[in-house]
Amino acid sequence: MSTKTNHQKMLAGELYNFFDPELDAQRQRVKELLRLFNDAPDVGDRRGILERLLGQIGSNSLIEPPFHCTYGRNTSIGDHSYLNFSCIVLDNNRVDIGDHVMIGPMVQLYTAAHPLEAATRNDGWEVAKPITIEDNVWIGGGAIVLPGVRIGRNAVVGAGAVVCHNVPPDTVVAGNPARTIREIEQ
């Protein structure tokens, strides 16, 4: 029998229960910080809230409101990165965003996935796999990145793409599911 908490299981990529009271308390804290962030009129005020909310927010990085995430502290953003309006980060596991990353409006990063069996899903069980976005990546508006995906350095993800698999460095991917369109010479 495991002695790990649901929080520890979640970050380890193991099956955990979303309805756990500890996890629910964490999500409620994040909802309040997001309300403050999304309502703050001043960039400086928003920056201070992001420093309390996220695991890391690099220098000269900016997130436009509205912004939504699940746990906040599982998200790390490097320097000089930009998340445009209405981004959603389901950071049930690690979401690591590198330096000089541009993320378009309404991009969705999902670390959480659910079992295929309805009864298990209904009982609140899920699993979460990390997402890594390396340096100098551009993700076009409305793209969706699924659990466990790594997007390589200098890659470009086309608007509206659904990224189910790792993206090699220096490539352009697009479509549903996203496929390599071409390589980029740097």
SS3 152: coil
Angle between helices 43-53 and 21-39 (to 10 degrees): 170
Q: Which residues contact 47 (CB under 8 A, 6 or more apart)?
A: 57
Tell me which of 7, 80, 114, 165 is the catalytic residue.
114
The residue assigned the tokens 């997130």 is 63
CB 93 within 8 A of CB 128: yes
Active site residue 7: no
Give the active site residues. 114
